[in-house]
Structure 1
Amino acid sequence: MAWSTRELAELAGTTVNTIRHYHRLGLLDEPERRYNGYKQYGVQDLVRLLRIRRLAELGVPLSQIGEVGAGGDSTPDALRQLDAELAARIERLQRARFDIAAILRDSVPADAPAGFESVASRLSEADSSIIHIYTQLYDEDAMADLRLMAEADTDSISSEIDDLPPDADEATRQRLAEKLAPILTQNLIDYPWLSDPVTHLSKSAHVTQQTFIEAVNELYNAAQIDVLHRASILAHEQPRITREANGDG
């Protein structure tokens, strides 16, 4: 029995172009040709093609199919590595499905920061943007804490700062800073690493600092930055004031 390229492709459940690609890679030998120049494939060609397709379905890269299919000493290690890669891919897909379910459940934008779906509707465009940047600067533990902070932030201060115009007057800036400071102070108490985040960085301290500065200056207006700066100073001073008031020095 002899088959043409098209007939072989149909039998194997693949395409003519795929077979030609396997020929170019050297995975499938070129068959003999008929008197009219057309290729003629036999049973062994079909079996070889089906073996290649089987390995490809398992996820073996085409560049490794020859080695893995030969069943050499390196085959078990190659399969274990492939299994680990598949497990990681499955985990990513499961995480994507979980995130999609949360996006649909909470009716939030599809590009909301991962894990922040439940609070995405309360995040300003600037806050959402900087959280996206944080995902590249901080490790998973830090991001988990940031999610908890965002979920606990139900005070109207956030929306007031979001709506703050760049020419806000001095009294408004100071009022908002004093209102925000206790929240920041509590965060510093609950999450001590905020005072020294080096151990939670996924990039170098220099890259993190430069990226943070650029992001804040780009995403927030002058008045908002001023309020955040004032509130940060007040928040860091509060523990010292409390210690002095208690006579702890």
Structure 2
Amino acid sequence: MAWSTRELAGLAATTVNTVRHYHRSGLLEEPNRTSNGYKQYGARHLVRLLQICRLRDLSIPLAQIESMDIGGEAPASALLAVDADLTVSIERLKRARAEIRAILAGTTATDVPSGFEHLADRLSKPERSLMLVVSQLYDESAMADLRTMIEAEAEDAGVEFDTLPLDADEAIRQQLAEALAPQLAQHLIDYRWLTDPKAHFPKGARVTQETLRETAVELYSKSQLDVLARASAIATELAAESINPTSDPNNLGVSDDR
């Protein structure tokens, strides 16, 4: 008995377009045609198509199937490669399911990077958004350090900053900057790479810096940005003094007796 393309596809639980695609890729040979041009598939075509579909169900790429002896044993290297990919996918899906269950239970958040869920409550909405962007710009090592920095900060450390009025006067901005600076300075001391973070920018310094700048401008008000700039300047000075303290001329061990 001979089958048409549609009948063959139906027997293999696939589509006509898929059969045609396998023809174009050379995986499935073209059958003979009747005098009126219709294809006539036989049992060997059906067996071949079922073998291809079986390998596709195992997630083996078409490019690898082309190099395999489908009628014989599948090359171990191809199957091992697929097995490794599936292992990674399974682990990723397990993590995704765990996070989804946690979200449904109300114990985690979706608007923070992976690994920052336990810190969501102490981050403001702009900070959460900023962390999401940063997670795409910094490498894993830097993100781990940032997570540790947030964990070390007091939970109410940024309350005044978060509620800073747009028209906050000079005195209030300076006072807030001076209050924030010591913690920032400690971060600069503990994590020296913060002074020159380019090595932690996988996407390059220009893209990273421009993205961070644009994100900050949209997330924070002008008064908040002014406070951040002031606090950063003060923190840099404090950190420099701590790392390289100025020598005390009264404690050089030089006698005034001459």
TM-score interval (norm. to shorter) = 0.7 to 0.9
Q: Which runs of 5+ in 1 are unaligned?
A: none
- Separation in 2, partners of 1:102, 1:147: 20
**Per-residue CA shift, 1:144-167, capped at 9, x if unaligned?**
121222233333231321221222
Q: Which residue of 1 aligns with 2:217?
A: 217
Residue 194 of structure 1: how far off its partner (Å): 1.7
Q: Which runs of 5+ in 2 are unaligned?
A: 253-258
- Residue 226 to residue 156, structure 1, CA distance change in 2 (3 Å): same
> Is 1:175 matched with 2:175?
yes
Q: Which residue of 1 aligns with 2:120?
A: 120
Residue 205 of structure 1: how far off its partner (Å): 2.5
| Amino acid in the other structure paired with 1:210 | E
- Residue 39 to residue 196, structure 1, CA distance change in 2 (3 Å): same
TM-score (norm 1): 0.80
Q: Which residue of 1 aligns with 2:190?
A: 190
- Separation in 1, partners of 2:184, 2:102: 28
Residue 118 of structure 1: how far off its partner (Å): 2.0
Q: Which residue of 1 aligns with 2:255?
A: none
- Separation in 2, partners of 1:234, 1:104: 43
- Separation in 2, partners of 1:240, 1:31: 79
Which stretch shifts more, 166-175 or 100-109? 100-109
Q: Which residue of 1 aligns with 2:45?
A: 45
More helix by share: 1
Q: Which residue of 1 aligns with 2:164?
A: 164
- Separation in 2, partners of 1:52, 1:232: 61
Residue 95 of structure 1: how far off its partner (Å): 3.8
- Separation in 1, partners of 2:139, 2:71: 41
| Amino acid in the other structure paired with 2:155 | D
| Amino acid in the other structure paired with 2:158 | S
Q: Which residue of 2 aligns with 1:206?
A: 206
CA contact (8 A) 1:6 1:15 kept: yes
> Is 1:15 matched with 2:15?
yes
Alignment coverage as a number of residue pairs: 248
CA contact (8 A) 2:6 2:16 kept: yes
- Separation in 1, partners of 2:122, 2:148: 14
- Separation in 2, partners of 1:96, 1:224: 35
Which stretch shifts more, 33-42 or 15-24? 33-42
Among all aligned residue pairs of Structure 1 and Structure 2, give the percentage whose two residues are the same amino acid: 55
Residue 49 of structure 1: how far off its partner (Å): 1.0
TM-score (norm 2): 0.77
- Separation in 2, partners of 1:61, 1:152: 47
- Residue 102 to residue 186, structure 1, CA distance change in 2 (3 Å): farther
| Amino acid in the other structure paired with 1:45 | H
Residue 53 of structure 1: how far off its partner (Å): 0.7
Residue 235 of structure 1: how far off its partner (Å): 1.9
CA contact (8 A) 1:106 1:117 kept: no
**Per-residue CA shift, 1:2-40, capped at 9, x if unaligned?**
445455444433334433432343322233456887644
- Map 1:70-81 → 2, pairs under 5 A: 77-81=77-81
**Per-residue CA shift, 1:49-70, capped at 9, x if unaligned?**
1110122122222244222246
Residue 191 of structure 1: how far off its partner (Å): 2.4
**Per-residue CA shift, 1:141-194, capped at 9, x if unaligned?**
111121222233333231321221222112221221122122212322332322
- Separation in 2, partners of 1:105, 1:186: 36
- Separation in 2, partners of 1:119, 1:27: 52
Secondary structure of the 1:225 match is helix
Secondary structure of the 1:110 match is coil
